[in-house]
Amino acid sequence: MNNPTFPQHVTCPFCGILDRVSFPLYGAGIPRIVYCDTEAGGCDQYYAVTATVQVIVEPTVHRIDGIGRVLPDPGARDEDGGAR
């Protein structure tokens, strides 16, 4: 099963540098241990990051004309036997 990841920028709580962390969609609530890399200007500390996944559902309404109304039967005849 494919588990897509979502890269996010997080701020080190010790030195304030931005780190990039990828969170998997499944298991995003599990804390990840992040190393603040000194080669990227960090402080050589470890810290934990937990992601929260939020799903926003916005329904879009579309009008469908003709649904719900009784349309005349094209082959129907009126009371005199003539076509409608």
Question: What pairing do the DSSP bridges indicate for beta strands 5-11 and 32-35?
Answer: unpaired
Higher pLDDT among residues 54 and 45, named by residue: 45
> What's the confidence (pLDDT) of residue 81?
63
Using an 8 Å Cβ cutoff, are 21 and 8 in contact? Answer: yes
pLDDT over 90 for what percent of the chain? 40
3-state secondary structure of 40: helix
Tell me what the pLDDT averaged over the chain comes to: 84
Could you state, in order of their start, the residue ranges of all structural domains in the chain? 5-49
pTM (global) more than 0.75:
no
Per-residue confidence at 83, pLDDT binned at 50, 70, 90?
low
The DSSP call for residue 8 is E
* Statement: residue 28 has pLDDT above 80: no
